Amino acid sequence: MAEQEPVIQIVGISGSLRAGSYTLRAVETALAGAAETGANTRLIDLRDYTLVFRDGKDESAYPPDVFRLRAEVKQADGVILGTPEYHGDVSGVLKNALDLMGFDEFEGKMLGLVGVSGGRMGSFDAMNTLRNVGRALHAWVIPDQASVPEAWKVFAADGKITDPQHEQRLKDVGRQLARFARLHKCENALEFLRTWQQAQANPGA
């Protein structure tokens, strides 16, 4: 009997609080790509969460939404992080959300990145920051990423993408993330990794 493929859970976090956010639309599009591979997806819109700044004090005083956010990310196999680029970096709201989480939520997870900007240079600086954050949290940041420059030209008033190339790139991030997450979760792949890690070192020729 063939082994059943594992069900993959992918969450996408939109790091923008702006009404009609292009970042939100970009994350939704990437999640649609993940869903096309059979993954279960969930959008985390930080506008719906009451968070606080991490201050190193007693966490028992944190609002319930902090623990809701942690639980939703912890149960995922892969995470899409979406940010607008503000002054060459990630949005403050996304960085704060990440500061409120840690290894429990991200270690060993697959991480995909999407970004938007109002200018022509795109959001590469912000996504490079997120790659560094992902490595610090021991997450696996996938090779693909999608930057949407001049987002006001790419998204219509109803939120739909007017440029099929940008839509394809955003969906490709979601697809690749889900595929890597599925491979990582596959028991056969895990068994191979265990065997490889236990193998004797090759002394060379």
Comparing CA positions, the residue from 51, 53, 115, 54 lying closest to residue 86 is 115
Comparing CA positions, the residue from 189, 192, 194 lying closest to residue 6 is 189
Q: Domain containing 188 — which CATH number?
A: 3.40.50.360
Residue 177 has a CB neighbour count (10 Å cut-off) of: 32
In this structure, are residues 140 and 106 in contact, taking their beta carbons and an 8 Å threshold? no
Asked if residue 204 is part of any domain, the answer here is no
In this structure, are residues 10 and 41 in contact, taking their beta carbons and an 8 Å threshold? yes
Residue-by-residue pLDDT tens, the chain, 205 positions: 445 667 899 999 999 998 889 999 999 999 999 999 999 999 999 999 999 998 777 888 899 999 999 999 999 999 999 999 888 899 999 999 999 999 999 999 999 999 998 888 878 889 999 999 999 999 999 999 998 888 888 888 887 888 889 999 999 999 999 999 998 877 656 666 667 667 666 655 4
DSSP secondary structure code for residue 144 in this structure: E
Write the CA distances from 143 to 131, 197, 203, integer angstroms.
Answer: 10, 24, 31
- Measure the CA–CA gap between 192 and 195, rounded to whole angstroms: 5
- Total number of domains in the chain: 1
Alpha helices (H) along 8-63: 22-36
The predicted pLDDT at position 1 comes to 41
The predicted pLDDT at position 187 comes to 62
- Measure the CA–CA gap between 67 and 115, rounded to whole angstroms: 26
Residue partners of 194: CB distance under 8 A and separation at least 6: none
Asked if residue 2 is part of any domain, the answer here is no
The predicted pLDDT at position 4 comes to 63
Q: Which helix (H) or strand (E) holds 180?
A: helix 164-185
Asked if residue 124 is part of any domain, the answer here is yes
194 burial via Cβ count (<10 Å: 0-12, 13-18, 19+): exposed
The predicted pLDDT at position 203 comes to 57
Which segments of 76-155 are extended strands (E)? Answer: 78-84, 110-116, 140-148
- Measure the CA–CA gap between 191 and 29, rounded to whole angstroms: 33
Sign of the CA dihedral running 33, 36, 38, 44: positive
Asked if residue 35 is part of any domain, the answer here is yes
Asked if residue 205 is part of any domain, the answer here is no
Polymer length in residues for the chain: 205
- Domain containing residue 137: 9-198
The predicted pLDDT at position 2 comes to 47
Asked if residue 1 is part of any domain, the answer here is no
